[in-house]
Amino acid sequence: MRSLLYFLLIIIAAASAAIVQSPSDKDIVPHGEELLDVDTIFRAMGVPFCMRKCIDGFINSTTTLWTMRNVVGQARNVCTSHAKAISCLKHDQFCDMNKIFKVASSSVEYMCTKKYVLFERMEKCLTPVVDKIMEECDNTCYSRSNLTAFSNNSNIQFAATVGGNVFIVTDHLGDLCGSLQCTLPCVTQKLNQACALSGWLALDMLMQPFDAATVMIEQLAPPLRDLVIKKVDKRCRFAINASQLNRIRNGDFTAFNSL
């Protein structure tokens, strides 16, 4: 059960990182009039309250990116709130003993610690172009729309009312993974065209939690590993396949559908 929760958090974190649509463009996005319900998503996954009290500030800071306005400028706030969330969970050592949140949000930590110097060097180039690039990609890939629809799905809302059901949530991840398959190459290629190497930096950052997920899946007992793989929509299976992930990281986006 924990392994599925872990995987779900990674997919949701990655989908949230791909939120790229301005709410003013309702004529483009099929679900534009619905509101993203982050609380329902977390309750549907059964995320414990002790974790929520630590990570809600971070979640709130990431949802400020929802409009894709001043993304570069808001990155520092996201880094600060993430560090606070990690510190809070360390003080409550029994809440997240398996470090689920730390791994699920590892792309943020990776950018904020190991890659921030590179990000700062690219900041001047990225600031005037990144919002438009992200918005253009979502006009094609519907990351924001699909995440919003996911949070408003009646089955997800039911799972939230019964204290969480990771199997129900897993059954409805397909569209989110489909958006990721579209968004990752779109953002990578457009950012590289605008600011040299910035697309590869973004891709490297977003791939971090998936790499960790494959390690976790491989360490499971074979029956449980087979159950996780069976439950995951085929559009999401790239996220737990080390060979596919390695090819994607190196720019071979045909690997999304290689199995």
Please count the CA atoms within 13 angstroms of the CA of 103 that sit on its side-chain side: 21
List the structure tokens of 16. 């949230």
Q: Tell me the pLDDT of the chain averaged across its residues.
A: 80
Most confident residue range from 18-22, 110-114, 207-211: 110-114
For every residue of 86-129, DSSP letters joined together read HHHHHHSTTTSTT-HHHHHTHHHHIIIIISHHHHHHHHHHHTTT
Give the pLDDT band of residue 204 (cuts 50, 70, 90). Answer: confident
Per-residue pLDDT averaged across 4-30, rounded? 52
Question: Position of tokens 């790229």?
Answer: 20
pLDDT at residue 33, as a whole number:
47
73: CB partners within 8 A, 6+ apart: 127
**pLDDT tens-place string over residues 42-79:** 888 888 888 888 988 887 777 655 555 666 767 778 88
Instruction: Give residue 20's pLDDT.
Output: 38
Reported as a pLDDT band with limits 50, 70 and 90, residue 201 is confident
222 vs 6: which has the higher pLDDT: 222
Residue 123: predicted pLDDT: 86
pLDDT in tens, 107-127: 788 888 888 888 888 989 988
